[in-house]
Structure 1
Amino acid sequence: MTVMTLERPARAVAADTIPSPCAIVELRRYALHPGRRETLIELFDREFVHTQEDCGMRVLGQFRDLDAPDDFVWLRGFANMAERRDALAAFYGGPVWRRHRDAANATMQDSSNVLLLRNVQTAATHAPRPGMLLAVVCALDAPATPELVQRFEHEVRPCLVAAGMEVQAVLKTEHTTNDFPALPVRTDTEAFVWICRFDGVAHQLDCADRLFTSAIWRDAVWPRWLSRLRSAPEMFRLQPTAGSAWR
């Protein structure tokens, strides 16, 4: 079975070639100055997608948070940590970022909410196709163990799928040292994250209703999962921008 994760197919890839999965994923959540989100989205979609990919990384998607009007969320992927270091050095030391960084930074209040994650997906998923995403971020007291991953795969995932959700990524905190310190990542939390795709908001709400009308989910699986967390999960409904891989 070929393991897939959130990925944006590279340009000029042969039709019979399956893009390699991204082992390392950054989940980046930016708090912007009020009213500046559309400015950043227009700049990002125009200048920062293919130019980053030309440096050796994957822009996996960029999104509006439907419940936070001044938040911009995006995902970036790498084959491994060494390629991450080299790709980031190439982009942030290059002419495109140098030309546009002041305009981008002027939209941001805080760009430090960045989770550095490792793909632990064990099931094949669909390639990106139009829709919205729901990211569920679970804070743990300790690093995610293989037993926790297996509990997700054998208990949580089947309930999500039965409710009509497409699980597109399963990720946990990456513990390798961030060797590109110019871009800090969070070290204050251990995270376990899954991301689901939906056709739209109505589909997401319908799936959520089906999930929580399931007695096994409501009375057994979900309470048991919550008991292993440090706090209630954070959930982010993400609408892709016009330039996102998910449009």
Structure 2
Amino acid sequence: MTRNDMYGGADCTDDELREHRAMPTLSDLPTPAAPDCRVVELRQYTLYPGRRDALIELFDREFVDAQEAQGINVLGQFRDLDDADRFVWLRGFADMAARGDALAAFYGGRAWAEHRDAANATMADSDDVLLLRPAWRGAALPAQARGAARGDGLLRAQIFHLKEAAGDELLALCRRAACPQARVQAWYVTESALNNFPRLPLREGEPVLVGLAFFDDALAGEGWANELDTLLQPWQRRPAQALRLAPTSRSALQA
């Protein structure tokens, strides 16, 4: 939506690497049920000062149901606790073909036509978008992460900017990652398919690894984030981005 329009552990074993290599490729997997989508967008919007609550009220009221009606899974929308002018949200699709069809239907539909001017008026930039896929079978956010509000909890998102696309050794290490304080963890990597809805720009050519973890306490998870950052240093081309995200009242993903 543009304005115009691991915990660480030892080195992974040979058996773990063989297990990862034996995993089916993404194209071999059946289309998963929501929210375990093959394709996920992580969208970060920079808003004009003081406009975030206005966008959230509009988004939650007008854009969630309208997108879901077109087959888009609006996985969650959040306030960035460290930036009062940033709005972050996630949406998922069954696959790339479904993404193209669903986005065309939504952005060509009534809800967007009626409310796009009001939405765009809140946004200084909406082009910070990563196209992702689950890092392995079962790495996506599970269904039980949706819908159960947990008061003052939060979602931590660690975005690791990689020197190259995530490989076997890195993903095997991530599969072993565990944080006892987190209720849910999930892992995503860059989806390399070409943007099939070019009206909405993406950050292309940037291999990333994204770790998500839900905590009941808004102060929890700092150690998890720091440990991950240290553990994954050999693979990073620049410092990771750390987000502390509080779900809106309408967010399907609740911490």
- TM-score by length of structure 1 reads 0.81
User: What is aligned with 1:140?
Assistant: 162
- How many residues end up aligned between the 2 structures? 215
Which deviates more from structure 2 when the two are superposed, residues 134-143 or residues 120-129? 120-129
Aligned-partner Cα distance in 2 for 1:146–1:76? 26
CA shift for structure 1 position 147: 2.4
1:235 aligns with 2:242: yes
Distance 2:184 2:34 in 1: 18
Counterparts in 2 of 1:76-115, with a 5 A limit?
Answer: 76-115=91-130
Report how far residue 94 of structure 1 moved.
0.6
Give the whole-Å Cα distance in 1 for the aligned partners of 2:58 and 2:35: 28
Q: Letter of the aligned partner of 1:196 in structure 2?
A: A
Question: Would the aligned equivalents of 1:167 and 1:194 in 2 still touch at CA under 8 Å?
Answer: no
Query: Mean alpha-carbon deviation: is it higher for 172-181 or for 19-28?
Result: 19-28
Mapped to 1, the partners of 2:65 and 2:195 lie a distance apart of 24
Contiguous gaps of at least 5 residues in structure 1:
1-17
Q: What is the CA distance between 1:167 and its match in structure 2?
A: 3.8
SS of structure 2 residue aligned to 1:185: coil
1:1-247 pair list within 5 angstroms = 19=34, 21-123=36-138, 125=142, 126-128=144-146, 129-130=148-149, 131-154=153-176, 157-158=177-178, 161-162=179-180, 164-202=181-219, 204=220, 207-209=221-223, 211=224, 223-247=230-254
1:82 Cα offset (Å):
0.2
Compute the displacement of 1:87 (Å).
Answer: 0.3
> What is the CA-CA distance between 1:245 and the residue it aligns to?
1.0
SS at match of 1:84: helix
Aligned to 1:5: none
CA contact (8 A) 2:229 2:240 kept: no
Instruction: Give the 3 Å change call, closer, same or farther, for CA 79–235 of structure 1 in structure 2.
Output: same
Worse-superposed segment, 22-31 or 168-177:
168-177
1:132 counterpart letter in structure 2: L
Q: Work out whether residues 81 and 245 of structure 2, in 8 Å CA contact, stay in contact via their aligned partners in 1.
A: yes
CA contact (8 A) 1:41 1:241 kept: yes
Structure 2 SS opposite 1:86: helix
The DSSP-based 3-state class of the residue aligned with 1:232 is strand
Decide whether the 8 Å contact of 2:37 with 2:92 is kept in 1. yes
Work out whether residues 121 and 169 of structure 1, in 8 Å CA contact, stay in contact via their aligned partners in 2.
Answer: no
Structure-2 separation of matches of 1:19 and 1:223? 33
* Residue identity matched to 1:143: A
Q: Please list the CA deviations of residues 94-125 of structure 1 after superposition, one character each: whole Å capped at 9, or x if unmatched.
A: 11100000000000000000000011244474
**Which amino acid in 2 is paired with 1:228?**
W
Q: TM-score, normalised by structure 2?
A: 0.79
- Letter of the 2:214 partner, please give it: R
**Partner in structure 1 of residue 4 of structure 2:** none
State the alpha-carbon separation in 2 of the partners of residues 199 and 246 from structure 1: 13
Distance of 1:175 and 1:222 partners within structure 2 = 24
Q: Give how far 1:53 is off.
A: 0.4
State the Cα RMSD in Å.
Answer: 2.0
Q: Contact 1:65/1:71 (CA < 8 Å) preserved in 2? A: yes
Residues 37 and 70 in structure 1, CA contact (< 8 A), matched pair in contact too? yes
